Amino acid sequence: MDYSSLPKVELHLHLDCSMSYDVVTAIKPSVTPEEYRKKFIAPPKCADLADYLTRAFHAVALLQTEEQLRLVTLDLFKQLKADNVIYAEIRFGPMLHTAKGLTPEQVVRTVNEATEVGVRQTGIQAGLILSTLRHYTEAQSMQTVELARQFHGPGSRVFGFDIAADEAAYPIDNHIRAFQYAKAHDIPRTAHAGEARGAGSVWETLRNFEPSRLGHGVRSAEDPELLVWLRDNNIHLEVCPTSNVQTNVFNRIEDHAADLLFRSGISMSINTDTRTISNVTLEDEYRVMESVFGWGPEQILKCNLEAIDHAFCPPEWKSRIRDRIERAYTAQEG
Ligand SMILES: [Zn+2]
């Protein structure tokens, strides 16, 4: 099946981990292709999530001015266009970009405005998710969610709140208040969990953060009771197959739980996570699911429709995006 021209929805995508070589050299011309491969792209197998995340440090260092944030956001839109993504949610941690004096508000405003330009230039619909980070203090996490509250609402592209970074090394305690605050202000929530830790981490995330989606959540497959709970409560899993093999959640792609989760009737989508660190497109990920698990258009279509159903965009956008996807798949069959 040729997925290249089919419309796609991507819910789990990190801005700072998706910088093309072109944009890296626009910001720092001295970076050679070898250096880019070594510093920005992870090998097929890292020791763990923490090892994988070291690539993000190089990227974040180049994302410290308004101009850099604008360039990288628009570069990502270009990549999404080439992959025929029609709706994307792009996430980032605003406070990572303040090392050279930008305020967190300036960071969010800049990415928000650049996203607006990207939407106009490409016709891709898009929203932003602000991520707090596992190693943050409670105060930092509250500051991040306060930004989400400030920017969430009509006329803004900020659609949701997330927690990212090293699940294995830091507990959830510092972030419970931030998620409660997001809930109190009707800010949609997703959370990275069930990636570097197992089902216990997913349960505690569900109980304390009350997200409607999980970033990854794939280790839920270790607990049959949890699978039933996720299905019955319509929790959507943002599954990123290649990334999970790189971070050693699964030894080989053949061991990945994606197909089992799908067959369990859980709402899920396929995502890249990081277009640079993982060095993949959505089309690549769909092909992986096809070649390893025998997926076809039926499964990929279902994942795209589940993704838009669970997107954080205004509800009135959803039927239009849904129609576009369904029409394209019908035309491809015919
Ligand atoms: Zn992620």
Q: Convert the pLDDT of each residue in 189-206 to its tens digit.
A: 999 999 989 999 999 999
Ligand 1 centroid, distance to 219 Cα (angstroms): 14
21: exposed, middle or buried (Cβ count in 10 Å: 0-12, 13-18, 19+): middle
Ligand 1 centroid, distance to 278 Cα (angstroms): 11
Query: In whole angstroms, how large is the CA radius of gyration of the chain?
Result: 18
Please tell me the distance from the alpha carbon of residue 177 to that of residue 145, in angstroms, as a whole number. 10
Ligand 1 centroid, distance to 168 Cα (angstroms): 14
Return the pLDDT at 34: 96
Please tell me the distance from the alpha carbon of residue 83 to that of residue 258, in angstroms, as a whole number. 21
Please tell me the distance from the alpha carbon of residue 276 to that of residue 55, in angstroms, as a whole number. 9
Residues in the chain: 334
Ligand 1 centroid, distance to 22 Cα (angstroms): 23
3-state helix, strand, coil in the chain (%, to 5): 55, 15, 30
Tokens of 75: 């570069």
Return the pLDDT at 334: 66
Question: Domain 8-333 is of which CATH architecture?
Answer: Alpha-Beta Barrel (3.20)
120-144 tens-digit pLDDT? 999 999 999 999 999 999 999 999 9
10-65 tens-digit pLDDT? 999 999 999 999 999 999 999 999 999 999 999 999 988 888 889 999 999 999 99
Confidence label for 333 from pLDDT (cuts 50, 70 and 90): confident
Paired strand residues for 91: 14, 129
Ligand 1 centroid, distance to 292 Cα (angstroms): 22
266-278 tens-digit pLDDT? 999 999 999 999 9
Please tell me the distance from the alpha carbon of residue 10 to that of residue 271, in angstroms, as a whole number. 6
75-106 tens-digit pLDDT? 999 999 999 999 999 999 999 999 999 999 99
314: exposed, middle or buried (Cβ count in 10 Å: 0-12, 13-18, 19+): exposed
Ligand 1 centroid, distance to 331 Cα (angstroms): 33
Residue 289 φ then ψ, to 5°: -65, -35
Ligand 1 centroid, distance to 99 Cα (angstroms): 22
Paired strand residues for 189: 161
195 is an active site residue: yes
Ligand 1 centroid, distance to 216 Cα (angstroms): 7
Ligand 1 centroid, distance to 12 Cα (angstroms): 6
* Mean pLDDT estimate for the chain: 96
Given a contact cutoff of 8 angstroms between Cβ atoms, the answer to whether 122 and 80 are in contact is: yes
Paired strand residues for 17: none
Alpha-helix runs per DSSP H in 130-257: 138-151, 176-184, 199-209, 224-232, 241-246
Please tell me the distance from the alpha carbon of residue 230 to that of residue 212, in angstroms, as a whole number. 10
How many other C-beta atoms can be found within 10 angstroms of the C-beta atom of residue 300? 23
Please tell me the distance from the alpha carbon of residue 288 to that of residue 232, in angstroms, as a whole number. 28
Which helix (H) or strand (E) is 300 found in, with range? Answer: helix 297-309
Please tell me the distance from the alpha carbon of residue 320 to that of residue 318, in angstroms, as a whole number. 5
Cα 166 to the center of its chain, rounded Å? 15
Q: pTM for this structure?
A: 0.97
Ligand 1 centroid, distance to 11 Cα (angstroms): 10
Ligand 1 centroid, distance to 6 Cα (angstroms): 24
The closest of 332, 313, 257, 328 to 88, measured between CA atoms, is 313
Ligand 1 centroid, distance to 192 Cα (angstroms): 7
CA max distance for the chain: 55
* % the chain with pLDDT above 90: 95
Q: Which of 10, 89, 167, 195 is catalytic?
A: 195
